[in-house]
Chains A and B, each alone.
Chain A
């Protein structure tokens, strides 16, 4: 599959991999923050 990209393999793979890391990182950060906020609220609500 990489061979099909010919002489442009490096820029295409670089663009796709950097974008993939950034977007997956954003999704992961969103889910972790959501989970932490939900747990923190549940903890405070249980106390009250």
Chain B
């Protein structure tokens, strides 16, 4: 069995329909569990109760970047192999990524005020995140502005390639320039924990919850896009008849 079989909309609808109830259940357990656990952690000795913002800020920022990477992969599959489901999946992911980016920016600003003494700073990571949000908005606007779906998929695919620079910078800006207010990675595979297990376990649970929420919403939105495309095709056939 090849993965390319799922590029067939009928096969995709059948498989995603079977998987969705399980994903909804897993998300409904994992996300609230992570958030409740995150809300109930003790105050940090330095940041006080503002540490609770981390359980929204870090997972949403992680998803904002990774959703763009997913869109990049889906766009490349469209540009190279012309599988329609991948183009529709990229389109379906964009609003989720945009909301995650807004959540990351807003929680970052609200967290920054008591921690750094400012809501906003033209720091490399913050600025690249703002540009990433503008790319998300531009990507969605471009899809809506072009009538021919194949042309829209082509142009948004190219835009996704360009925007990947900022998704990459959002992740690594703090390492490249080593300046600005934003710290480096909260979670690292390098030896030496940067975060106590009191905070890391609920954080991992929130990250898993956000990931499951994304996959669930992505499948629902991709199914919606496929249905809209099918409706448009049937209406066009009716008009010709």
Contacts and interface: CB of A to CB of B under 8 A. Distances in A.
Interface stretch (B64-72, B125-133, B176-184, B226-234): B226-234
Contact of B234 (A26, A31, A38, A45): A45
A27 B50 CA distance: 26
Contacts of B49: 4-6, 8-9, 12
A47 B234 CA distance: 10
Nearest to B103: A19
Contacts of A45: 234
Contact of A33 (B52, B56, B102, B224): B224
Interface residues of chain B: helix, strand, loop or mixed (majority): helix
Contacts of A23: 99, 103, 213
Nearest to A29: B95
B99 A22 contact: yes
B84 to A, nearest CB: 16
Contacts of B220: 30-31, 34
Interface string B208-241: 0000010001001101100110110011011000
Contacts of B107: 15, 18-19
Interface string A11-37: 110111011001101110111011001
B231 A26 contact: no
A7 B113 CA distance: 13
Contacts of B231: 37, 40-41, 44
B48 interface: yes
A48 B234 contact: yes
A2 B228 CA distance: 45
Interface of B: 39, 43, 48-50, 52-53, 56-57, 60, 95-96, 99, 102-103, 106-107, 110-111, 113-114, 213, 217, 220-221, 223-224, 227-228, 230-231, 234-235, 237-238
Interface of A: 4-9, 11-12, 14-16, 18-19, 22-23, 25-27, 29-31, 33-34, 37-38, 40-41, 44-45, 47-48
7 closest Cβ contacts across the A-B interface? A8-B49, A37-B227, A5-B49, A15-B110, A15-B53, A15-B107, A37-B224
17 contacts: A4-B49, A5-B52, A7-B48, A11-B53, A11-B111, A11-B113, A12-B49, A15-B52, A15-B56, A15-B111, A18-B103, A33-B221, A33-B224, A34-B224, A38-B224, A40-B228, A48-B238
Given A9-B49, A14-B110, 17 more contacts: A5-B52, A8-B50, A11-B114, A12-B49, A12-B53, A15-B107, A15-B111, A16-B39, A18-B110, A22-B99, A26-B96, A27-B217, A30-B224, A34-B221, A40-B231, A41-B231, A44-B231
